Amino acid sequence: MGRMRFYSFVEGEVTVPLGRRVVDDISSQMNVPNEVVIHMPGEDHRSIARFSSVTSPSYKKVLAKLREAVYAALSPVMKIIEEEDGRNILSLKGHPGTGKSTLLSTLHRHLTQTTPSAIHLSFFFTSRGVLLQRSVLGMYRALLWQVYRQSSRAREMVLEVYEEKVQSFGKEGWEWGVSELRGLVGRVVRRVSREREVIVLVDAVDEAVRGDGERAAGEVVEWFYTLDNTDLGSGSGDGDGDGDGSDVNGLRICISSRHYPIISLESRLEIRLEDENANDLHRYIHDSLRLGIQGWANEPEHITQPLLSIISSKAAGVFQWAVLRVPKIIKSLNDGEVTFEESQKMIEQESNELFPLYQKIITNDVSLSLRSRSLLFLQWVAFAERPLSLAELRFAIASDGQDRPFSQDCCEKEGGFIDSDARMAKLTKSLSGGLAEVVVCESVSRVQFIHQTVNEYLRSQGLEMLSSFSMDVGRGDVIGRSQQRLTTSCLNYLRIEYVVDAINAWIKWNEKIPVFIEYTAKYLFQHASHAEQHGNIQKDLATFFNTHPDLFPLWQKICWKLDTSRPYCATEHLIHIAAVFNISSIVQYFLERGVTLEVRDRDGHTPLALVAKRGDERMTRMFLDLGADVNTVNDDNCTPLELAAANSHETVVKQLLEKGAEIQGKGEMRTFRSALQGAVFGGRLSLVRVLIASGADINTRHEYYGTPLQEAAALETDDIAMLLIESGAEINTPCGRDGSALQAAAYRGHRSLIRVLLERGADVNAQGGEYGNALQAAAIYGIGHIDIIKLLLASGADINAVGGAYGTVLQAVLLPGNEALIQLLLDHGADVNIQAGEFGNAIMSAAMSGDEGIVRMLIEKGADIHAVAGEYGNTLQAAVLSGNGALVEFLLEIGVDVNVRCGKYGTALQAAVICKPELAETLLKWKADVNIPGTEYGNPLYAAVSLGRNDLISRILERGANVNMKVERHLSTLFSKVLQQAAKKGDTKVVKQLLAYGAEVNAVDETYGTALKIASTSGFKEVAEMLLDSGADVNLTGPLRAAAVGGHREVVELLINRGADSDPNDDISTIISKARGGQRKAPDHY
């Protein structure tokens, strides 16, 4: 049946009088490939195919799928994209409003359902979203995440690079750079497409921007060329090359864009949607007129057809124009305002451009009394950094202070406050003339324009027209004035007393987050930056912060609470924020008041270092011209040059070099990448050339990444590797994660570079690095690298060399599917009992893989089944972790001791409870001891409670588990007794079981107190009540105070009723307030 799709509609209601559904879920589905099951709520067997009208929700649901199916079957676009004629890129082009995004969305649904085995990647640029939704960085991140989820090979490649980043920068406080993501996504997609078909759909490429807001359509298209280029085996300037010349046969790309800006696709296939839309648009207009105009059927064709023809002709393939204009034509005819003939003449004289249509809507549909409020509303919708929720928009408007007095007390004081989301939803239409709409995204109602062209119209014409109806203040163009107004609103919101009160309650006691605070804190300085770029100098903002010393620390606390990784969490001075957000006037303000250029944030960064890291050319030039120290180092001993190079900011690197930046790293072991290593990691050949020409040490060493040559080999960038070799790079320098360049190339299966390195004298037995030697590194990917393994063996590789994560090359290949490779190594003399590596020895590695056949093969070769070694201790624990129950039974049957205490988890039973609970019963059957202490999670009972293994808890208790065993403090054992852990989880059933088996109810954990206090802290009233009924001391270790600080009113009341010590004159609110040292005063809607 190929790519045929089937829709099955399922009854949602019983049929009266049968009292059941005639066709149930099982019978109503065909269970065939490509079947789409659609449930029909409210429809029984009789009504599921009988619709009350064309407006019936069920009718619309069926019609939508029917239209989609017909379109998929008949559309030339669908036919073209499903053809495999060697052309890998399809470009869909059209004017604004021609349905490009709708078509891409339909394509995405169709292809994901008809090609389920393919990897589907998609990105829809939208300038109405947050920066990541409209930037190339967002596209690369989205594509990387999607391919990561769908391909195990991709996960291996991404995790390797991620671990490198963590090694350099830690787990938090860093973000992916555009250049490194471009190279990484390119390498991953090309590699994965060798094995599976990869389909990439990217919409609205013309809307793509860089981080600085500049258009980036050309960059995106150039990257797709690179991705599709099948002659990149020798590498590329962006690090996208595979390294072995393999063609990318399983890759298909479809992108959409407007006709302008001009984006060349050379010989790639291109479809103009205006040409394809004619028939569909004619049908839409005809159906709308036929169903909408009263008496249409009674009018003769010589009256109706000219109207239909003139509207279709005027629309010129643009659906957006027709969707907005046709309803107004219908209304005019139905109201008797015009005749058919008059409407034809009116349409003939109209422009079919969208901007004049929007102008007419604003002028006619937004009443004069609302124009001032309309301007503010439209400014927020047009310039918000992300779509605002209805609630956020209410407070954004209330914080304005331009057209009405601003009250610092509360939003309601001056009147005009929009008091509900329902009212804001109504105003959305009236304030925009219907050009804005409310959409539900992830259960939140947000406001956005009906089309991107509305935003473009307002920025170019509409807001200027509306400005005459408002006290529009500020300098510069309408964009600058709008951004200044939004900046002021954000600042005003932070000053409202009720908001400050709500912020403090949120920070101190985790009460509800203030409605508009997340947006305000995150984007205040972003709006200020935009305002300054359009003529509104921000020295007044700096002055305001300077004269209100409590405001900046409050803003920082908010940012820290929201996201500790944000760069502005690490500074105590506004000058760093100004540098990060490109607000030069604030920088100048503080410099004029004696602040030094070398002031550092908490990570040791100067303002110059921050802007160099971000690649901000303008701010870098400003700080250099002001005399900033170009060779300053941060707390990681890293210079601005190294930060810029690590993020592939070539222009900034050149700026720094021109000002005398030193290229450090000569002859020393680095803890941070040198500038050259950073450039190699980014995959930018041109930047590598610049640094080498400027005297960079080509053999600089890094404790983790090794030498630049190792880095190039690891990234499979042949052009950079060859440049380094030709420039004199040492081949055998021992250092870093990969140990040597040869090991790095062997691990990634980079055959051509391996040959080059061997020819240049690479030591095939050099020891070091994560995998010990090149032979073990090549063996990681098993049978797929058998030719490389043979090449290395032929070049003299020692088959029993010990070292690295797996200990020996034999251990590295002990996985299902590698039997031929295992036999090859055994034939070459591999020793099965060498103890080394993470898993201890060969048989433990085999057991960890879960392959009973390989385990038996090694036993036949003399492997010791009782050996104790490695991370998982013995063969039985390793087998448990593999999840293979048959292998576990086999090992127990041949005499492996079930109760040996060793390894990461302590015992096989502990390992099973934590990782493979389905095997715990097998071990219990073989008399596993339930009271042998483990390492992680203390003991089997504690582990079962902690991880919610409720089915095992009863079995472990029945086998005699000690419910009062004290466990050692560990990352996984927060409390000393299992009852305390159960109280923390709030599981009443488990708490009841433990109490029934004799758990000590008043046992005290030295850090967290009794189980009652722990339950009270979390607000678990039922658990607290159960503990009290079992004799828990109501005052021991202070459960009342714990409940009060947490704001758990019901638990506070329970404890007071059970005799907890408190002032008899205090009510519950007073008790909570005293415990917290205050209480929230702001109303709930704040």
Closest C-alpha to 191, from 253, 233, 220: 233
- DSSP conformation letters of 159-197: HHHHHHHHHHH-SSS----HHHHHHHHHHHHHHHTTTS-
Q: What is the pLDDT of residue 470?
A: 66
Q: What is the pLDDT of residue 245?
A: 41
Q: What is the pLDDT of residue 619?
A: 95
Higher pLDDT, 994 or 249: 994
pLDDT tens, position by position, 743-769: 999 998 888 899 999 999 999 999 999
Higher pLDDT, 17 or 495: 495
pLDDT tens, position by position, 715-731: 878 889 999 999 999 99
What would the mean pLDDT of 648-677 be, rounded to a whole number? 80
Lowest mean pLDDT among 312-326, 540-554, 661-675, 779-793: 661-675
Q: DSSP assignment, residue 1080?
A: -
Cβ atoms 129, 386 nearer than 8 A: yes
Closest C-alpha to 250, from 484, 32, 126, 84: 84
pLDDT tens, position by position, 521-547: 999 999 999 999 998 999 999 999 988
Higher pLDDT, 888 or 60: 888
- Cβ neighbours, 10 Å, residue 58: 19
- Most confident among 46-50, 180-184, 979-983 (mean pLDDT): 979-983
Cβ atoms 104, 182 nearer than 8 A: no
Q: What is the pLDDT of residue 109?
A: 82
pLDDT tens, position by position, 169-219: 677 767 787 878 888 898 899 889 888 899 999 998 888 888 777 788 888
Q: Is the peptide bond before 356 cis (omega within 30 degrees of 0)?
A: no
The alpha helices in 933-1010, defined as continuous H runs, are 940-946, 950-958, 978-985, 988-996
What would the mean pLDDT of 288-292 be, rounded to a whole number? 87
pLDDT tens, position by position, 320-366: 888 888 888 998 888 888 898 888 888 888 777 888 888 988 988 88
Higher pLDDT, 269 or 819: 819
Buried-exposed string 1045-1054: b where 16+ CB fall within 10 A, e elsewhere: bbbbbebbeb
**Distance between CA atoms of residues 243 and 875, nearest Å:** 39
> Given strand 198-203, what is the order of strands in its sheet?
119-124, 198-203, 251-257, 89-93, 269-272
Helix (H) or strand (E) holding 80: helix 76-82
Q: What is the pLDDT of residue 907?
A: 94
Task: Compute the chain's Rg from CA coordinates.
Answer: 34
What would the mean pLDDT of 153-178 be, rounded to a whole number? 80
Output the six-digit token pair for 52: 């009350």
Q: Is the pLDDT of residue 239 over 50?
A: no
- Looking at every residue in the chain, the average pLDDT score rounds to 86
Higher pLDDT, 786 or 34: 786
Higher pLDDT, 41 or 507: 507
Cβ atoms 784, 749 nearer than 8 A: yes
Q: What is the pLDDT of residue 86?
A: 55
**Distance between CA atoms of residues 132 and 204, nearest Å:** 14
Q: What is the pLDDT of residue 603?
A: 87
Q: Is the peptide bond before 17 cis (omega within 30 degrees of 0)?
A: yes
**Distance between CA atoms of residues 714 and 711, nearest Å:** 5
pLDDT tens, position by position, 1035-1060: 999 999 999 999 899 999 999 999 99
pLDDT tier at 22 (50, 70, 90 boundaries)? Answer: confident
Coil vs helix vs strand at 706: strand
What would the mean pLDDT of 579-605 be, rounded to a whole number? 93
Q: DSSP assignment, residue 14?
A: P
Lowest mean pLDDT among 479-488, 665-674, 969-978: 665-674
**Distance between CA atoms of residues 708 and 679, nearest Å:** 9
Helix (H) or strand (E) holding 1052: helix 1049-1057
pLDDT tens, position by position, 864-874: 999 998 888 99
Lowest mean pLDDT among 306-320, 848-862, 948-962: 306-320
**Distance between CA atoms of residues 839 and 902, nearest Å:** 13
Q: Which residues contact 420 (CB under 8 A, 6 or more apart)?
A: none
Q: What is the pLDDT of residue 242?
A: 43
**Distance between CA atoms of residues 792 and 786, nearest Å:** 10
Output the six-digit token pair for 776: 């073990």
Closest C-alpha to 554, from 483, 626, 491, 478: 491
- What long-range pairs does 468-474 form, CB within 8 A, spacing at least 24? 469/368, 469/371, 469/372, 469/374, 469/375, 470/371, 470/372, 470/375, 470/376, 470/402, 470/403, 471/372, 471/402, 471/403, 472/375, 472/402, 473/402, 474/531, 474/536
- Most confident among 870-874, 935-939, 984-988 (mean pLDDT): 984-988
What would the mean pLDDT of 767-773 be, rounded to a whole number? 91
**Distance between CA atoms of residues 1022 and 245, nearest Å:** 65
Output the six-digit token pair for 953: 């808890």
Fold of 76-267: Rossmann fold (3.40.50)
What would the mean pLDDT of 824-841 be, rounded to a whole number? 91
Helix/strand/coil (H/E/C) assignment for every residue in 904-931 = CCECHHHHHHHHCHHHHHHHHHCCCCCC
Output the six-digit token pair for 759: 């020819």
pLDDT tier at 91 (50, 70, 90 boundaries)? Answer: confident
Q: Is the pLDDT of residue 47 over 80?
A: no
- DSSP conformation letters of 199-243: EEEEE-GGG-B-TTS-B-HHHHHHHHHHHH-S--TT--TTS---S
Cβ atoms 43, 12 nearer than 8 A: yes
Q: Is the pLDDT of residue 138 over 70?
A: yes
Q: What is the pLDDT of residue 77?
A: 60
Q: 924 phi and psi, to 5 degrees? A: -65, -35
Domains of the chain, by residue range, sit at 6-74, 76-267, 278-352, 356-536, 999-1086
Q: What is the pLDDT of residue 919?
A: 96
Helix (H) or strand (E) holding 702: strand 701-702
pLDDT tens, position by position, 433-477: 999 999 888 789 999 998 888 888 899 888 988 887 766 555 568
Q: Is the pLDDT of residue 46 over 50?
A: yes
Q: What is the pLDDT of residue 475?
A: 59
Q: Is the pLDDT of residue 257 over 50?
A: yes
Coil vs helix vs strand at 1049: helix
What would the mean pLDDT of 1001-1009 be, rounded to a whole number? 94
Q: Is the pLDDT of residue 889 over 60?
A: yes
Helix (H) or strand (E) holding 625: helix 617-625
Helix (H) or strand (E) holding 110: helix 100-114
Closest C-alpha to 555, from 587, 593, 514: 514
pLDDT tens, position by position, 396-446: 999 987 756 566 666 666 567 898 999 999 999 999 999 999 988 878 999
Cβ atoms 126, 133 nearer than 8 A: yes
Cβ atoms 395, 406 nearer than 8 A: no
**Distance between CA atoms of residues 478 and 534, nearest Å:** 9
**Distance between CA atoms of residues 656 and 294, nearest Å:** 72
What would the mean pLDDT of 1020-1027 be, rounded to a whole number? 96
**Distance between CA atoms of residues 877 and 923, nearest Å:** 11
Q: 28 phi and psi, to 5 degrees? A: -85, -5
Q: What is the pLDDT of residue 1?
A: 42
What are the C-alpha distances in Å from 376 to residues 470, 556, 590?
9, 28, 32
Cβ atoms 1040, 1009 nearer than 8 A: no
What are the C-alpha distances in Å from 344 to residues 181, 347, 398, 615?
54, 5, 45, 56
**Distance between CA atoms of residues 809 and 803, nearest Å:** 9
Q: Is the pLDDT of residue 244 over 50?
A: no
User: Of 1.25.40.10, 3.30.110.40, 1.25.40.20, 1.20.5.510, which CATH number belongs to 999-1086?
Assistant: 1.25.40.20
Q: What is the pLDDT of residue 243?
A: 42
Amino acid at 1081: K
What are the C-alpha distances in Å from 221 to residues 136, 242, 657, 778?
11, 20, 31, 35
Output the six-digit token pair for 72: 């998929």
